[in-house]
Chain A
């Protein structure tokens, strides 16, 4: 057995039978071995899309996503995708070819120090220089990527190692004595959290993506009910709680809902779980949760106390810690449902629902589009967004109800992510409907992969919200830079319908109220890939907290009741 074959065998043994990749000089031997293997290899049209697709695959399914690229430019094209996965803690394995061992360091053709380059944007990376170690390294890479706080792991395999004969295929793992994620949570701290919860009268739960990664949504919802607390989420936490529920406050932060931002700041106890208090979430730190005791549950100890001072730190897996906490709470008959807080937050929450119907307008409003989208999809439909206004409209006003159905690049804010991520999600869950919502700018950053979608028959719906602008940047220019629209107008190129058609994709242009719904219905029925260019009002501004201010100072919100 050769190195490359050992790699393929290990992947399949680990259940990773689907990979996204692109060949090249230093992986030709590996690709030759893939040729007669059972690996389901999906040929993308740009390595960045392989990384994003692997990421989308992982986010949708909870499994490890795998991508492959050749050395040099192939490997460096993965970088944006890896940093996206790193920021949002998704389990991805990237396999790169490398020049043969005897040439490393000589600036050989297509040599790049991908280990050095990706050190700060991977959870770990390894160059394999002994073919016999391949199975152990792959096993360990999967363990590192998918346990603890998940993250991307890159494995660099020189060409000669791919071709070298193994003495023996030895499953096993490398010694990971420096890697022991804490799962259980400190008993004393959980007890303290419990006591604080008993005493508190205005509790808010802040739920982050870590809950989805830990598959702890049921536990979270149970906790919320048990203590009658409302749940605000971060961007990555969307889908943890059904957002039509009266105790779901929606997203908080720079583009959060006013009700959500205000209520979080009014609490006397914040239970933050699986979130990292990013600047986009907290706004100005001095004005964030002024009166709250903070309980922070996270599997990564470094996140606790990094940005926000924490009263009760609990390091552990969200699911396990929540189970223990719930058990303690259940041992005592608590009833918080009669606290004035409960009525207060419910009323406040109900009043400030974002307005999403804009039926009479000349130009389609993005809110109206997402309303029509909501009307035709089901609870299992997976939505991916790109980055910019399209993303924030969805995060702000679209109601998710299930984990892993709202996929978005949070920490990195990577334009070009949404479309290939949708591709990965559809490959992971072929039975689910998938809709990718993008901006006109971001879609062009990965649109070449329409070819992949066509050739590999990966049917989903792409909705391009075309405002002819780099909308989010344009919004900042309008609000904070005296409307000096420096380089944010994209013009009217391309004709997205023709672009889609050039790739053999059903494409349609939408300009009026009601058409989105009809087109989506039709697309869902045909089950073929469909591209919808939806022309929207470029002047519609998202409510936002001006940069540097506290999250209470949100401006520009239009709510359903005109509040």
Chain B
């Protein structure tokens, strides 16, 4: 059965590592929904979070093949239930009328977002949350004409004390 998987890896923070990982996924026909990379708690190592869709067998291959990369130090398949996922989303909305402006402000407040920049023509909004929350917000914004949208893709952390 196909499911979403959250794969969290510790990798060497060096050039080319992202290419090794994404190349591996492409070559073996694994799906990538998103991939995020950034500093980790350990100097010289980065944490890479990959969201992928696939069955158990392909998940097993993903984990094993990732583990074979020399620059990949650790690989974890995080339990979707006990993992906190967050993603950041920036949206530029046009604000042609006062009515639209106030509607956007209201929704942004409800979703705990921020308006980072406002001009006479548009707003730049920041929303963080899990992907579902961001999707719901975007559903509300879409009829109001989204000018630009940029999502980071989720990063994740397990609540378990062990990993």
Contacts and interface: CB of A to CB of B under 8 A. Distances in A.
Q: Is the interface on chain A under 10, 10 to 19, 20 to 34, or 35 or more residues?
A: 10 to 19
Nearest to B73: A178
A120 B21 CA distance: 10
B12 interface: yes
A178 B12 contact: yes
Interface in B57-85: 57, 60-61, 64-65, 67-74
A115 B16 contact: yes
A62 B67 CA distance: 26
Interface string A120-144: 1001100000000000000000001
Contact of A120 (B11, B27, B60, B73): B27
Central interface residue in A120, A123, A176, A302, by most chain B CB within 10 Å: A302
Given A120-B27, A178-B12, A300 B73 contact: no
A301 interface: yes
Given A115-B16, A119-B23, A302 B69 contact: no
Nearest to A125: B16
A305 B56 CA distance: 12
A306 interface: yes
Contacts of B16: 115-116, 119
A177 interface: yes
Interface of A: 115-116, 119-120, 123-124, 144, 176-179, 300-302, 305-306
Q: Is the interface on chain B under 10, 10 to 19, 20 to 34, or 35 or more residues?
A: 20 to 34
B61 A119 contact: no
Contacts of B161: none
A504 B147 CA distance: 74
A119 B70 CA distance: 12
B68 A302 contact: yes
7 contacts: A116-B19, A119-B16, A178-B11, A178-B71, A178-B72, A302-B67, A306-B61
Contacts of B20: 119
Contact of A178 (B23, B60, B69): B69
A119 B65 CA distance: 14
A300 B65 CA distance: 10
3 nearest A-B pairs in the assembled complex, by CB-CB distance? A302-B64, A178-B73, A124-B70
Contact of A301 (B12, B67, B70): B67
Contacts of A124: 70
B23 A120 contact: yes
Contact of A176 (B19, B57, B68, B70): B70
B70 A144 contact: yes
A144 B68 CA distance: 11
B31 to A, nearest CB: 18
A509 to B, nearest CB: 45
A301 B23 contact: no
Given A119-B16, A144-B70, A301-B64, 5 more contacts: A178-B11, A178-B71, A300-B68, A302-B64, A305-B57
Nearest to A315: B64
Nearest to A151: B68
Contacts of B12: 178
A116 B17 CA distance: 11
Contacts of B60: 305
A264 to B, nearest CB: 23
B73 A177 contact: yes
Nearest to A178: B73
Nearest to B65: A302
A319 to B, nearest CB: 21
B94 to A, nearest CB: 39
Given A124-B70, A178-B73, A119 B19 contact: yes
